Amino acid sequence: MIDREQVLHVAQLARLELSEDELERMAHELSGVLDHIERIGELDLDEVAPTSHVVEVENALREDKPRPPLPREVALAAAPLVLQDGFAVPSPQA
């Protein structure tokens, strides 16, 4: 179960604006999915190590050798708003 307050908090963390309607629907749908998911709670997994990677690769390291960066106009090409050769945003502290 996940209630409306939790949905709001999670939406805030995820930077999603949800309407009242969406909020209600999301709480309902997520609860249904979570109910199903929570069945893994039945398994005894205390002695089981978690798997983060299925491949057994280690030390995929890169040599410290520079490669040419993107030209600035390419880096900025898709930017919604460019000012002073940078990506413009509303100031965080505003």
Determine, following the binding rule CB under 8 A, whether residue 91 of this chain makes contact with another protein: yes
For 17, the 3-state DSSP assignment is coil
Token pair 């491949």 is at which residue? 55
Question: Which residues in 28-47 contact another protein (CB under 8 A)?
Answer: 29-30, 32-34, 36-41, 43, 45
Q: How far is the CB of 62 from another protein (least distance, A)?
A: 4
- Residue 66: alpha-carbon gap to chain centroid: 30
Residue from 1, 3, 16, 24 touching another protein (CB under 8 A): that is: 16
Determine, following the binding rule CB under 8 A, whether residue 54 of this chain makes contact with another protein: yes
Number of alpha carbons in the 13 Å side-chain half-sphere of residue 41? 6
